[in-house]
Chain A
Amino acid sequence: MNSTAATTDKQRLIVVGNGMVGHHCVEQLLAGGALAHYRIEVFGEEAQRAYDRVHLSEYFGGRDAESLAMSAASLYEAEGLTLHLSAQVLEIDRAKREVVTAKGRFGYDKLVLATGSYPFVPPIDGAEGDSRLVYRTLDDLDGIRAAANGKRRGVVVGGGLLGLEAANALKSLGLEAHVVEFAPRLMPVQLDDFGGAALKQRIEDLGVGVHLSKATQSISAGSEYRYRMNFAGEDFLETDLIVFSAGIRPQDALARACGLELGPRGGININDQCLTSDEHIFAIGECAAWNGSIFGLVAPGYQMARLVAAQLCGQEGSPFLGADMSTKLKLLGVDVGSIGDAHGAMPGAKSYRYIDEATSSYRRLVVSADGKQVLGAVLVGDNSYYDTLLQYAQNGIKLPEDPASLIMPAGEGAPALGADALPDTATICSCHNVSKGAICSAIDGGCSDIAGVKACTKAATGCGGCAALLKQVVEHELTARGVEVDKSLCEHFAYTRQELYHFVRVENIESFEELLAKHGKGHVGCDICKPAVGSILASCWNKPIMNPALVPLQDTNDTFMANMQKNGTYSVVPRIPGGEITPEGLIAIGAVAKKYDLYTKITGGQRIDLFGAQLHELPEIWGELIAAGFETGHAYGKSLRTVKSCVGSTWCRYGVQDSVGMALLLEDRYKGLRSPHKIKFAVSGCTRECAEAQSKDIGVIATENGWNLYVCGNGGMRPRHAELFATDLDDATLVRYIDRVLMFYIRTADKLQRTSVWRESLEGGLAYLQDVVINDSLGLGDELEAQMQLVVDRYECEWANALKDEEKLKRFRTFVNEHGGDPDIHFVRERGQRRPARADELHLIPVTEETV
């Protein structure tokens, strides 16, 4: 009854466009709880869900569509939210409040237009096919890649921001790249003449041809190359393909057709609330015109998306009053920055300029007539000045005595603007509109490091441009609150786990005492450094952990190779690789459980946990398990736990690969691997993902052509989906990549840091990890594999090893001077099994029950 009422009560909200801005709006709607009030339908013209257009050129650098995606696909699987891809909206019927698509008509109560923009291609005779390519979508990039195949030279028409990005893309396809610009300088909107000249010099040094003041009149057949571009005058340039990137135009065709008011130069007219001339329709991003202007950057688009989402969720949202078009980029590897009034157009504006022809660097500072405030700036060659200048400009901070010092080369005492000089209102992250004040309250709310602040505020998770500034602010605020940013492991080692690992490797250290003597303080250590070093020694040399020198380093679970429970008894977990077990195996485990009266439970990792064993019973229990063919499951260690699997192609009608076989191979290879934290794997036999591989540190999902590898996911306190790392791998490559990922993790992670947190702390993120592992960018690949092979070769079941040695078994006595168990351990029976007695149950237990 209630649910029916709720469904019919819900309003219909349609978002047209699934680009970065449309996606951000959906994200904000979900975060604001919009699904309680709306059924949301999203229409995207492209085949892919929203992807990161800002980093489009990385598509040619090895990133695939999935890794460029703005979110996990699951975001759009929320109840009440539907994403239609490859679904162009053909018409808006404002009278009926419906949008029309090839699939039918969809009604709306509220409509958000986020249709974006399209590349402007000037009308030029002969421009068609490969001489009329554009650079905007993944499909466009596929087109450029196809056209470039086997070709030598490519030309980009347009020397603006996008044009230079496109030239970079051509360059990474191996073409000789040229840029043709109509204006007399590059990036005419953002740069002045000197800046343009410095940029031209730098880009030419990279082997990219730059042709200025060239108007292409026509395109005809070439003699040496496929096409010939004919410029005004006698000039010409021959090329195999031409990409037009001469500016963008708002995608306002739908709005125009249904009679919405447009801006004077196109774009859908919006007011300060992003509302169009129809009170039921909003427009956001590059398709919208506010005060006649189009905002072709992602930050203002996000600002509009947040505003509209807030209003739809019944909140107020700050009105859109224009946006700062300041921008900093790396174009073809060259730093370029432009802030505010870069051209000094304001009345009375004065400029300071720094020109370095030797390195082609240029900086211009534009200050107000009274010389008190920064109005704008231009930077070419070094963006390290950008953050400070932007803060001066945005927050009206009073200029220093000598304003020129702000753009003078560093090292001459330029007064850097410390994080403390920023007011609380200063915007640190413009993508997510995070102020310094918001960061301070996140810290006051308990965030104690950069990762925490990022997770809490989303700062530096958009374009990432503010990462350095965020780090400064967070470290400054932490220090101001008396939090010492100290990375010492403990009072005995003034080093991080990573540094200790390095010492152990490089100096071939095999004992705690040696490491402590060489790099630590004192001669005992503590319960923090001992297990951490024990784990490092095991990761590096994989000696049995019951060796006399290693025993004192282990936590009790590792010492007794079982998991201590709250009453001091242990649980025992035999390895059941891939979750596959014979009836004989099950019976053997059952017999042991029955004989020792152990509480038995199936674990989440497809094995069986036996609870309630006392110390002196462990060797007997393991003797029987090993005799039945089992080995230790390392459930007690910071090490590989399980490789969960589904039955795969052997039994399942959907399976495409033998997932159990792969799980067995992987579990056999990595069992016994000690690491900074526990590691879980899973292998699924098809995309239905029954083994839940995407929630594991290492997830493997079968495809028609091999295996997709996912890395760095986990469940637990803060669940994180694993990320797609590589696709369609053969068995050998899969194992090689896993070897490298895990050894790199062991080498660089912090103490007790799971792969997910480690991955989030990697500067450069997933792309960096891929570069290290797949492209071997650090030249470590062979070494990492060899180190893993050593661990694999030295594997020995720790329990089998201990049972062979009377000396080691000596420890498995509850009392060294009496037989039998601890008389203070009491059990009661519940649902047919034993469990620890609670304090209030103890008086019920007859004192004669315990027999010694």
Chain B
Amino acid sequence: MNTALNLEAAWQPLCSAADLVANSGVVALAAGEQVALFYLPETEQKVFAIGNRDPKSGANVIGRGIVGHLQGELVIASPLYKQHYRLHDGGCLEYPDQQLPVWPVRLHGERVEILR
């Protein structure tokens, strides 16, 4: 009971649902950290949060990539060198040593909330 309450309290508001763009990405700052948010209304999870920094280029561009579905996984393609990262765990399809952070994220009414 208490645990649930504590968890509930840890969800932090990030931005509004209207800031999201369907089937595409935007970027929000969470206490100085850049978080790419992808809104896929057709999926069960609906919103995904993943690190915005592309390890290959060092540029903060992941939020501007294209969403795709490859080898049974939802992925985001980096816009600079086109490598793919899994939205659910941040793993890279092409370079297993590259890993993006991911966070639990949810739509709560008109708000987008993140668990950090």
Contacts and interface: CB of A to CB of B under 8 A. Distances in A.
Nearest to A522: B69
Interface string B10-25: 0000110001011110
B110 interface: no
Nearest to A570: B64
Contacts of A568: 57, 59-61, 64, 80
Contacts of B84: 527
A559 B58 CA distance: 21
Contacts of A729: none
Contact of B23 (A522, A552, A815): A552
B79 A551 contact: no
The interface size bin for chain A is 35 or more
Given A552-B22, A816-B28, A818-B29, A566 B66 contact: no
Contact of B66 (A522, A552, A825): A552
A546 to B, nearest CB: 11
A554 B64 CA distance: 10
Contact of A566 (B23, B37, B59): B59
A810 B21 contact: yes
B21 A551 contact: yes
Given A526-B66, A527-B66, A817-B29, A555 B22 contact: no
A579 interface: no
Contacts, number: 101
The interface size bin for chain B is 35 or more
DSSP majority for the A interface?
A: loop
Q: Which one of A492, A559, A816, A824 has the highest number of Cβ atoms from chain B below 10 Å of its Cβ?
A: A816
A448 B106 CA distance: 47
Contact of B57 (A526, A553, A566, A811): A566
Contact of A559 (B24, B28, B53): B24
Given A816-B28, A817-B29, A527 B65 contact: yes
Contact of A556 (B14, B61, B68): B61
Contact of A526 (B23, B27, B69): B69
Interface string A548-567: 10011111110110001011
A822 interface: yes
B64 A817 contact: no
A491 B29 CA distance: 35
Nearest to A820: B29
A813 interface: yes
A476 to B, nearest CB: 30
A814 interface: yes
B93 to A, nearest CB: 11
Contact of A524 (B14, B19, B27, B69): B69
Interface string A807-836: 000110111111000101100000000000
B26 A813 contact: yes
Given A560-B64, A564-B64, A567-B59, A526 B77 contact: yes
Nearest to A556: B79
Interface in A207-246: none
A536 to B, nearest CB: 16
A145 interface: no
A810 B69 contact: no
10 contacts: A527-B66, A556-B65, A556-B79, A557-B79, A560-B64, A564-B64, A564-B79, A568-B59, A615-B64, A811-B24
Given A566-B80, A816-B26, 13 more contacts: A491-B71, A523-B42, A524-B69, A527-B84, A554-B66, A556-B66, A557-B79, A564-B80, A568-B59, A568-B61, A810-B21, A811-B26, A824-B53
Interface of A: 491-492, 522-528, 530-531, 548, 551-557, 559-560, 564, 566-568, 615, 810-811, 813-818, 822, 824-825, 839
